[in-house]
Amino acid sequence: MTSISINHKHDLNGPVIGQKLIDLSKPTVMGILNITPDSFFSGSRFTFNSNQITDQVGKMIANGAVFIDIGGYSTRPYADDVSVSEEIDRILPVIEVISKDFGDKIAISIDTFRSKVAREAVNAGATIINDIAGGNLDEEMFQTVAELQVPYILMHSRGNPQTMNKLNDYKTGGVPHLTLAVISELQVKVTQLRALAVKDIMIDPGFGFAKNAKQGFEMMRNLEAFKVMDLPLLVGISRKSMIWRTLNITADEALNGTTALNMYALMQGAKILRVHDVKEATETIRLFEELEN
């Protein structure tokens, strides 16, 4: 059984969150909760209000979310920089509320590329670190993950939100090949993490990060190639620009396109769908499983 160990608790049959077993041989849903004023999709933006947060997370759980990903720093292209202290101030109260009210029902992921934020978040109740920079923007991140011994989502990216769009020239052996280059760069990081005894790693190809829309579709077509890494695959294409720019619509109108690509991702081996719309993603997984059976 493909699985990850959550909350520092290990079970011979798989990972446990409270009394809940997570089996990543089956697809699951990660709901997005952005504690930022400038994330690209307005429907995912929240400020701290304990009742509002509780209501939103409760709905995500009721609609099938297994993970919730909390971010206090918008990582859309050209996003404004946010200080470490401000990022911490944004996310800590939210994590504390969710951990208190839903800690035995859902795995809390902290979406950050900063080791100090990650450490503070885990101390407050987060159980997974989701690093959109794959360790590139904080040289202490891998060591922090190793010390905390929590699952780590290793995403492929280059540069930072202000520079990544200029860093999308991919070659392997001098020959342009996006997917092979991404896998190769991820594998280097996995080797580094394993050397530090990090046990539970999930990979994210990083749609929209140092990849343009055309490259995003190329990578989606070749998504099955990531199976060579033998690690749970997370796909996050929810309402991203590769969808709405292709369809000449807005992010607010991109749910249908998201659902279409999520189904394709599941067919190529995705195990975690990171989404803004949990109910629709859960339904997509249900239909996928019916097709598979």
- pLDDT above 90 coverage of the chain, percent: 72
Q: Is the per-residue pLDDT at 81 higher than 50?
A: yes
Q: Which amino acid is at 149?
A: Q
The answer to whether residue 16 sits within a structural domain is no
Q: In b/e form, how buried is each residue of 235-268, taking b as 16+ CB within 10 angstroms?
A: bbbbbbbbbbeeeeeebeebbebbbebbbebbeb
- Using CA atoms, how far apart are residues 9 and 17, in angstroms rounded to an integer? 8
- Average pLDDT taken over every residue of the chain: 87
Instruction: Using alpha carbons, list the distances in angstroms from residue 265 to 108, 112, 189.
Output: 23, 24, 23
Which one has a higher pLDDT value, 55 or 19? 55
pLDDT given at position 270: 97
Sequence-distant (≥ 6) Cβ neighbours of residue 137 within 8 angstroms? 113, 114, 160
User: Which of 119, 211, 240, 271 does the annotation list as catalytic?
Assistant: 240
Report the CATH number that the domain containing residue 251 is assigned in CATH: 3.20.20.20
The reported pTM is 0.89
**Stretch among 22-26, 48-52, 56-60 having the lowest mean pLDDT:** 48-52
- Using CA atoms, how far apart are residues 99 and 106, in angstroms rounded to an integer? 9
Instruction: Using alpha carbons, list the distances in angstroms from residue 110 to 203, 211, 228, 256.
Output: 15, 23, 27, 27
Domain that holds residue 236: 24-288
The answer to whether residue 7 sits within a structural domain is no
Q: How large is the average pLDDT for residues 59-86?
A: 87
Torsion of CA 95, 100, 105, 110, to 10 degrees: 10
Q: Is the per-residue pLDDT at 45 higher than 60?
A: no
The answer to whether residue 194 sits within a structural domain is yes
**Stretch among 12-16, 180-184, 185-189, 220-224 having the lowest mean pLDDT:** 12-16
221 among known catalytic residues: no
> By the 8 A CB rule, do 153 and 134 touch?
no
The answer to whether residue 19 sits within a structural domain is no
119 among known catalytic residues: no
**What's the total number of domains in the chain?**
1
Q: Both tokens of residue 88?
A: 């911490």
User: Which of 105, 274, 279, 286 does the annotation list as catalytic?
Assistant: 274
Sign of the CA dihedral running 81, 89, 36, 111: positive
pLDDT band of 211, cuts 50, 70, 90: very high
The answer to whether residue 222 sits within a structural domain is yes
The answer to whether residue 293 sits within a structural domain is no
Which one has a higher pLDDT value, 48 or 242? 242
The answer to whether residue 10 sits within a structural domain is no
Residue 169 backbone class (left: φ over 0; alpha: ψ -120 to 50; beta: rest): beta
Sign of the CA dihedral running 216, 46, 276, 95: positive
The answer to whether residue 11 sits within a structural domain is no
